[in-house]
Structure formats: C-alpha cells, structure tokens
Structure 1
Amino acid sequence: MTVTPRVVVLAGGVGGARFSLGVRSALASRGEAPATIVVNTGDDLWLTGIRLQPDVDSILYALAGVNDTQRGWGRTGDSERVHHEVQAYGAGWPWFTLGDLDLGTHLARTGWLREGLTPSQVVAGLSRRWDLGATLLPMTDAEVDTHVVVRDGERLHFQEWWTRHRATLEPIAFENPGVDAATPAPGVVEAIRGADVVLIAPSNPVVSIGPILAVPGIREALRATDARVVGVSPIIGGRVVRGMADVCLTAIGVDTSSSGVAAHYGARAADGLLDAWLLAEEDAASASAVEALGIRPVVVPLWMTDAAASTALAEAALTA
C-alpha cells in the first residue's frame, strides 16, 4: 500500500507560482495527493473600488495554465481597454495596469466579498473554475497589506513602492498593519500540523514569505509540526533570481546570499523553521555555513528555466 504524503507549500509571487507548478507535477508523477498551497496576501490592496490579490492570482493563473509568462503577471492574451478607459477619467493608478480578463477575476472577488463571503471562500470559488491540481488557501482572511517605510519616513503601499518606483526609494522598514490581530485562514494551521512535508518556496523572504510567517499561529505551527520543513533558496550565485529582493533583504539586515537567507529563517533545532535548505550549485561553497546553522544543506540546480527544471527542483525538495 502506497503512503500518500501530505505536502504544504508556503508561496507568493512569480517564484512561488513556478515552484507550485513543479510541486504539482512532481506529486502527480509520484501518484500522490495534491499539495495545499498557503499563499501570501500581504500585497493585496483596494484600487478603484475592487479588491486585488496579486499573489493569489499569480498562483491561480499559473496552475490554471492561463498566466502571462512573458510579463510574469496577469492573464495571457489579455487586453487593456478598461484600464485605459479608467485612466481617461483620471482614476486608478496609471502605472498599475489591469488587463480586462484580470479585471473579471477582481470583479468576481469583490462582488463575493461585498456579499459577505470570506477571502478563503472567495479563493475557493475562483479555484473551482479550473482543475488546479492543488488547494489554495490565503494566509489569513484578515486584510493585512504591506506598507514600506522609506528613508524620508513616508509610508507607501508595497505595490506603489515595487511597481511605480521599482524599489528605488530606499526602504528602512516593512510593515503589515493589522497582522498582530490576524488569525490564520481556516485550514492553514491544520494543514501544516497534519503535513508530512512543508516546503518554503523560493519566494521573496521579506514581502512574500515574511507576511505569511507574521500571522500569529503560523510560525508556531511550523515549529510544532512533525513534518520536515524544507526551504528553497531564492538566491543563486549571490544574486536574486527575480525582482528586487536584495533591496528588501538589505533593509532588514539580511545578507543577500543563500546562507544569509537560511540564517534568516533559522534552524528548527535553534527555535527557527528549517530542517533542510536547498541551495544552488553556484553556492555550494556556502553549504558548510548552512550546516553550521543546524540546517541540512542540499546542493541542487535551482534555475526553474522550464517545466522540467521546476519539476526536478520540486522533486529534490520533496526528497530532501
């Protein structure tokens, strides 16, 4: 009789979406149950009266096979007629483009929220449209956005700092107002406690994984679970793979290196989170530093250049 491991993934952003695809493929090839993916909702926002969940939608669209892989966000083959019409009225953010198909998702979400559904119920409703091969759970049903405090003391929503300013304004802190009063979404803690494996995707440690871990109860569940907790480095060859994660890491005093991020998460044996850490072949020299933290280093290829590479990486994480 084959034992079916229960796999939980913590993820956000494009890296999380690609890794989630790899996990789905690896589990399917093993004949095992689909993963539960706990998704960051710290970059959610209200814009022109509708609720946006960028990380949820990135992973939703990727698993559905309708994501725009060239831009890294939104739906493939989308148009922007409504966006330009909204801009003609002087509404919204001209630098934050929403495609017409994408807006369909946001309108459905907003309508359900205004009818009284929770974000968890909304994510489940959106997921029913496609055979995703995974269960998506938001990290919390509370509204917990991410704000960036820049050098002059101004506070910006993360999306404005990231998309409009391209992280060029020096950050001194990242805040998640309301997170201390938030609770994990239904099913999140139960999934972690009941898992055999928990994988931390190679997402931005500060603004994608950080908000998930900041929700009271999630970090504690990770420390208490009998599952092995395996992280995947978002750093390859001492550089970030995508985006401006290095700016985020520097702001919180974390070295932009595979061993630096491993130390940031910490070893479970030392009140941290990780049992094992996947680091790139380019960073093999850092394996001893990771091991010294009390975390088992596993050196593997980390570039998710195509579906096969993403699946191989997920397989390595599951094996670890």
Structure 2
Amino acid sequence: MITVLSGGTGGLKLIQGLVNFVEPEEITLIVNTADDFEWLGLYVSPDLDTAIYLLAGLLDEIKFWGVKGDTFHFLEMIKKYGYEDWFSVGDRDLATHLHRTMLLRKGYTLTNVAALLCRTFNIKVKILPMSNEKVTTFVKTEKGTFHFQEYWVKRKGLDRVIGVNFEGIKQAKPAPGVVESIKEAAGIIIGPSNPVTSIAPILRIPGIKESLESVSTKKICISPIVGSGPVSGPAGNLLNGIGVEVSPFGVASIYRGLIDEIFIDKSDETFTERISSLGIKVICANIILKSEEDKTHLAKLVLERLEANQ
C-alpha cells in the first residue's frame, strides 16, 4: 500500500500518475481539512472535494476546483439577495456541500461522509480526512487575520503574511485509519502540496508526525517550489511569512527528519549539496506536472525510488 499526504493541487496531480502503476485500492490518500469552512450555512471541504471530483472524473481540471461544466445559477440568484459571491460554488458542487452538511447534522463523521461519497462515485482510492475534529487555518497578515479561504480566494493572497495559526490543532485526533495507513504503508509520499497550509496541518495533528518518524518505510517528498517560487498557489508568500526560505532547500528543511528523499526540479540541481547536508537524498527530475505524460513519468520515478534500497 502507498500512502500519500496531500492538499489541493500538486499532490492530486501526482495521484493521477500513480494510478497508472498502482491499483487504486492500494493507495490511501490523507487529505488536509484545515481549509474547511462554513459558507451560507453549508460545510465546505475544498481539498476533500477536489480529490473526490478528480478521481470521479468530475473535476474542472482547468481551474482545478469545482465540477467541470457546472452552472452558477444559484450563485447569481443569491447575489441578488445581497449575499457575497466571492466563493464561487457551482450548482452541482453545491449539491455536494448540502449533502455533506445534512449527513454531518445526522451524526455522520467527516470520514463517514468521505467514504459515502467515494462509494457513490465508485472511487477505489481510500480517501481519508486528516481528522474528524474541526481544525481551521488562519493566516495573519499586515491587514488582519483571515480564514485561509478568505485570504486566498477573497483577498487573492495579496496581503503580506506574518504568521499562520491552526486553531483546534492541539485537541484534534487523527481520523480513523490515518495512523494505520502510515504504519502499514509500503511507501509514503508527501505530495507537492503547499507545505504550510496543506501538509503542516496534517503533520501537526497529534500522533501523525510521530507515526511518520517511527516507521522505517521509505518516505519521499516532491517539492512544490521550483527556483524561488511555487509551482502554483500561495506557498511562496506563506513560507516567507513563517520565516522559511522560498526554495527547495526551504521545503527540505521543513521536512528534515521526516523524509528520506526529496524530488526537486532538474533546474534546481544547484540546491543538491545544501539539501544533502540535511541528511536527505536529492533526486532531480521534471516536477512541473503540466501534462498526463509529466504526471505519469514523475509517478514512475517516485515509485522506483520507493522500491530502491538506497
């Protein structure tokens, strides 16, 4: 079994490549849920939904969120009533949020809901939320402190970041199956997701980081940073905000002691010596996943490294 830790875009693109070589039933995906929030009374779980839509063949892969071909009649109407429309939810996407909210109100856990959605769409990859408890990412900026969705979607990630806080993290517990999937994995991958707001919340759930540290299974990370900037998203601003160098070395320093190897882009070979000094083996490859060929090629290389002795 391969276990993958992932947030939004990068880690899921890698999953698209992995399923070409590994049976979906042999992949467990642990997903960040600290981006979750309530919108118009509905429980929204952006990273979980993106994973489910992707593996169900429903994802709008141009935007890499929402349902492809969706309409926005509800959003247009709710705006007429004076509600904000900065969070762009399509009509079919809205049905998922409504369904989840109704199930949660009936006493289902987020793990239960994810499993039911996977069953509905015949998804064989095991998708697990990091926790069933509420954890919320708040981004502290010069203009104030905002929920991650407000910082990134509403405010376009333009405010200078000066800190990040995960409310509720100390009280949260790993969702059922999360620790087991780490301890029983034949290989563990930290996807090329934002290390600050996608992967850090997963690792800070009490018991998850400790489980990673305790297993002898090979652990590999793919850098979401190429050169001095992110492949996509706000990772650069967030790394700056917590005082970490925006580079593959900065990413490697965050995961020091947790990973054995890191994939960095072939254009970043000059970072090899610095990263190696952290005790992490460096593999240079094309890590910018623009095409299906890119995803397949990187997934093949990662699996080869997981199977290698050193």
TM-score interval, normalised by the smaller of the two chains: over 0.9
**For 2:235 and 2:288, how far apart are their aligned partners in 1?**
16
Is 2:59 the counterpart of 1:64?
A: no
Among 81, 88, 110, the residue aligned to 2:80: 88
Q: Give the count of matched residue pairs.
A: 305
Q: Secondary structure at the match of 1:22?
A: helix
- 8 Å CA contact 1:195–1:225 kept in 2: the answer is no
Among 159, 172, 177, the residue aligned to 1:182: 172
User: Residue 3 of structure 1 corresponds to which residue in structure 2?
Assistant: none
Among 21, 39, 47, the residue aligned to 1:47: 39
**For 2:20 and 2:45, how far apart are their aligned partners in 1?**
25
Is 2:108 the counterpart of 1:123?
A: no
User: With structure 1 as the length reference, what TM-score do the two structures score?
Assistant: 0.93
- 8 Å CA contact 1:196–1:226 kept in 2: the answer is no
The one-letter amino acid paired with 2:69 is G
User: Residue 217 of structure 1 corresponds to which residue in structure 2?
Assistant: 207
- Gaps (5+ residues) in structure 2? 306-310
- 8 Å CA contact 1:198–1:227 kept in 2: the answer is yes
Off by >6 Å, runs of 4+ in structure 1: none
Is 2:130 the counterpart of 1:135?
A: no
Encode CA deviations 1:171-214: one digit per residue, 9 max, x unaligned.
21111111100000000001101111110000000010111111
Encode CA deviations 1:73-131: one digit per residue, 9 max, x unaligned.
1000000001111222223x321110001001111111100010000000001111223
**For 1:239 and 1:169, how far apart are their aligned partners in 2?**
16
- Gaps (5+ residues) in structure 1? 1-5, 267-271
Among 4, 15, 20, the residue aligned to 1:9: 4
Shift, 1:233, TM fit: 0.5
User: Residue 269 of structure 1 corresponds to which residue in structure 2?
Assistant: none
- 8 Å CA contact 1:26–1:312 kept in 2: the answer is no
User: Residue 273 of structure 1 corresponds to which residue in structure 2?
Assistant: 258
Among 150, 159, 176, the residue aligned to 2:141: 150
User: Residue 110 of structure 1 corresponds to which residue in structure 2?
Assistant: 101
Q: Secondary structure at the match of 1:279?
A: strand
User: Residue 319 of structure 1 corresponds to which residue in structure 2?
Assistant: 304
Q: Secondary structure at the match of 1:56?
A: helix
**For 1:52 and 1:25, how far apart are their aligned partners in 2?**
30
User: Residue 198 of structure 2 corresponds to which residue in structure 1?
Assistant: 208
- 8 Å CA contact 1:67–1:76 kept in 2: the answer is yes
User: Residue 264 of structure 1 corresponds to which residue in structure 2?
Assistant: 254
Range that drifts further, 123-132 or 249-258: 123-132
Q: Secondary structure at the match of 2:284?
A: strand
Encode CA deviations 1:279-309: one digit per residue, 9 max, x unaligned.
1100111111111110011111112111221
Shift, 1:132, TM fit: 2.4
Q: Secondary structure at the match of 1:146?
A: strand
Q: Secondary structure at the match of 1:208?
A: helix
**For 2:248 and 2:270, how far apart are their aligned partners in 1?**
10
**For 1:228 and 1:131, how far apart are their aligned partners in 2?**
30
Shift, 1:33, TM fit: 4.8
Q: Secondary structure at the match of 1:181?
A: coil
User: Residue 88 of structure 2 corresponds to which residue in structure 1?
Assistant: 97
Q: Secondary structure at the match of 2:128?
A: strand
Query: % of aligned pairs identical?
Result: 37
**For 1:216 and 1:305, how far apart are their aligned partners in 2?**
35
**For 1:90 and 1:180, how far apart are their aligned partners in 2?**
37
**For 1:226 and 1:130, how far apart are their aligned partners in 2?**
34
User: With structure 2 as the length reference, what TM-score do the two structures score?
Assistant: 0.95
Q: Secondary structure at the match of 1:304?
A: coil
- 8 Å CA contact 2:29–2:128 kept in 1: the answer is yes
The one-letter amino acid paired with 2:195 is P
Shift, 1:238, TM fit: 2.9
- 8 Å CA contact 1:19–1:314 kept in 2: the answer is yes
The one-letter amino acid paired with 1:19 is L
CA RMSD across the alignment: 1.2
